Structure 1
Amino acid sequence: MVPSELQRRIAERYDQLSPKQRQVARFIADNEAFTAFASAAELGKAVDVDAATVVRLAQSLGFSGYAELQEVIRGRIPERLTFVQRIEQQRQQPMDRQQLPVKVFTNDIENLNQTLNQTQPEAVDAAVEAICRADHVIVVGMGFSAAVAVFLGHGLNSLGIRTTVLTEGGSSLTITLANLRPTDLMIGVSVWRYLRDTVAALAGAAERGVPTIALTDSSVSPPARIADHVLVAATRGVGHSLSPVGLIAVVNLLLAEIAVREPERALAVLREVDRLYREQGMVDGAEQNG
């Protein structure tokens, strides 16, 4: 099984689950480290259901039982370690530094392959349509996801799509939510451990009738369960952190699709940017890349 198999099963069968089974499924998706080693009774107690409900959920997802579901989750534990846990693990099991470059690059190649395999063309088309239709795009990404949000915002603005990027919560986020209109679009970039402000921003936008897109690492993550459109990227890391390579690849795909879809708008803005760069002497050399 590839690492995202459990999440895919939950997403595909979620509508067929009973209310109590859905409650358990959501808990499992958000608490994999606990689920990996908790008994069915312990998991049921945490969600206020009986052990039989936990077992029936596992069977509804196509597993022979709860034990098989746990085996799949245990294979994902390295992806769900906190930064501190990753450092502690590396201290206990030192990595061969000579092999580190190969391991890092191989890991990201695997992330890219997994992201490609789980990228659905119809989901990309729907996201691109929503972006191109919006009067104003708000990209929210905090912590680890902030750099990806900034990269996406820069790319959209460069293509003539008016975009604001928020990388912090607080009053700025509150004011932005208060000013949202149905013709706007909110994109939330959020991966494990799913910062609360980003999820709340998507929820607030949805409550106001604003279309939403989630760029995340699981089809059943908290932001994915809120958003109208979901794009998933693999983020497995080698060092203390996750890897943003899969997320960046999805952003590049969105930007390329938009440029192909609306070339005149993109060219008009890029020509103006190029003119201003030259006029203001902002770059050195013949090549101008924003």
Structure 2
Amino acid sequence: MKLKEVITSAYDNLSKSQQKVAKYLLEHPREIAVLSATEIGEQSGVSETTVIRFCYAVGLSGFTELQKSVREQLLLEKSSLQTYVTAKESLADAPHLHARVMKNDSERIQQAIDLINEEDFELMLEKIKEAEKIFIIGSRTSFAAASWLAFTLGLARDHVKLIRSDTDDLLHLLQSMSETSLLISISFHRYVKETIKFTEVAKKQAGYVIGITDSPLSPLQKHADLLFPLIPTGRSTIDSTPVLFSFLNAAVAGTTLKNREGFENRNKEYDLLYRDYFEPY
């Protein structure tokens, strides 16, 4: 039986305070998945002890098992692919499919524009400019974005490193980080544990961590000094890709404008190397 059904069936036998926890859990599964028992208690208006007793009352071994069940059964109830396909079904027989899909993308980008705090964006540009070294990580659906960002930022400044967890020595990379380093971590639902764990450890090594994600309740929020949640809750990760690349493009544009001389010098060097080694005979 799913956790939601277990809670619903046990609801009438719970104390009034435990019912507050149950109601909060059913209404805010993402928050239960990432907050502590103390924070859940504060949000639902009860004590931490009540949250723990609620777990026992519904047959769980404790708060850890509650979070695990929520993540598995509620937070991850639908895959991004399922959400993506469902959202496109209404367009299946409509004319001008490309125009409709691209219009939806532009609407999501506009929503993201409204979500982004301009002061936070300017702070990100300043951190990118000041950092001695920049490390960028993103896995699975986020890897293409991380790779693109590393390449394009590398045209504007020195010492930009894309982290490849499949081939890089992660311990060596962590050792090479310092208080003058910047980590940019990209992770979208479903959140890759490897990325979250690396970000957590790197937070103790790097001077500053920027998280780029979908939701303010993303696991990255615990480890990022500055968080950019770009997508309203419930959106497909695949559908978020145009928004993500548009945001990264804005970040690169801002970095280039703030370091125009450095970009022009690196661009000249890049063109020379390209002509010497990559142009066809």
TM-score by length of 2: 0.68
Deviation at 1:97, TM superposition (A): 5.8
2:265 is the alignment partner of 1:263: no
Rounded to whole Å, the distance in 2 between the matches of 1:200 and 1:85 is 26
Rounded to whole Å, the distance in 1 between the matches of 2:203 and 2:28 is 20
Letter in 2 for 1:102: A
2:191 is the alignment partner of 1:194: yes
What is the SS of the residue equivalent to 1:282? coil
Of stretches 123-132 and 89-98 in structure 1, the one that deviates more from structure 2 is 89-98
- Could you tell me which of 21, 28, 31 is aligned with 2:30? 28
Q: What's 1:133 paired with?
A: 130
Alignment of 1:166-205 (within 5 A): 166-168=163-165, 172-205=169-202
Deviation at 1:234, TM superposition (A): 2.6
Q: What's 1:60 paired with?
A: none
The structure that has the greater radius of gyration is 2
| Aligned CA distance change for structure 1 residues 94 and 182 (closer, same or farther; 3 Å) | same
Rounded to whole Å, the distance in 2 between the matches of 1:273 and 1:170 is 26
Q: What's 1:15 paired with?
A: none
| Aligned CA distance change for structure 1 residues 182 and 27 (closer, same or farther; 3 Å) | farther
Letter in 2 for 1:144: T
Alignment of 1:107-256 (within 5 A): 107-168=104-165, 172-234=169-231, 241-256=238-253
Q: What's 1:274 paired with?
A: 271
RMSD of aligned alpha carbons: 3.9
Rounded to whole Å, the distance in 2 between the matches of 1:154 and 1:91 is 32
Deviation at 1:27, TM superposition (A): 5.1
Q: Deviations over 1:129-150 (max 9, x none)?
A: 1111111111000000000001
What is the identity percentage for the equivalent residue pairs of Structure 1 and Structure 2?
21
Q: Deviations over 1:221-251 (max 9, x none)?
A: 1112310112232389998933311111111
Rounded to whole Å, the distance in 1 between the matches of 2:148 and 2:231 is 18
Rounded to whole Å, the distance in 2 between the matches of 1:228 and 1:48 is 30
What is the SS of the residue equivalent to 1:185? strand
Letter in 2 for 1:139: I
Deviation at 1:279, TM superposition (A): 2.4
What is the SS of the residue equivalent to 2:185? strand
| Aligned CA distance change for structure 1 residues 149 and 124 (closer, same or farther; 3 Å) | same
List, as ranges, runs of 4+ consecutive aligned residues in structure 1 with deviation greater than 6 Å: 23-26, 90-94, 235-240
Is the CA contact 1:139–1:164 (under 8 Å) kept in the aligned structure 2?
yes
- Could you tell me which of 43, 48, 62 is aligned with 2:52? 48
Is the CA contact 1:138–1:185 (under 8 Å) kept in the aligned structure 2?
yes
| Aligned CA distance change for structure 1 residues 154 and 85 (closer, same or farther; 3 Å) | same
Deviation at 1:88, TM superposition (A): 7.6
| Aligned CA distance change for structure 1 residues 102 and 160 (closer, same or farther; 3 Å) | same
Rounded to whole Å, the distance in 1 between the matches of 2:197 and 2:211 is 12
Unaligned ranges ≥5, structure 2: 1-20, 35-43, 56-73
Rounded to whole Å, the distance in 2 between the matches of 1:91 and 1:117 is 24
Rounded to whole Å, the distance in 2 between the matches of 1:90 and 1:219 is 23
| Aligned CA distance change for structure 1 residues 157 and 91 (closer, same or farther; 3 Å) | closer
Unaligned ranges ≥5, structure 1: 1-19, 33-39, 52-76, 285-290
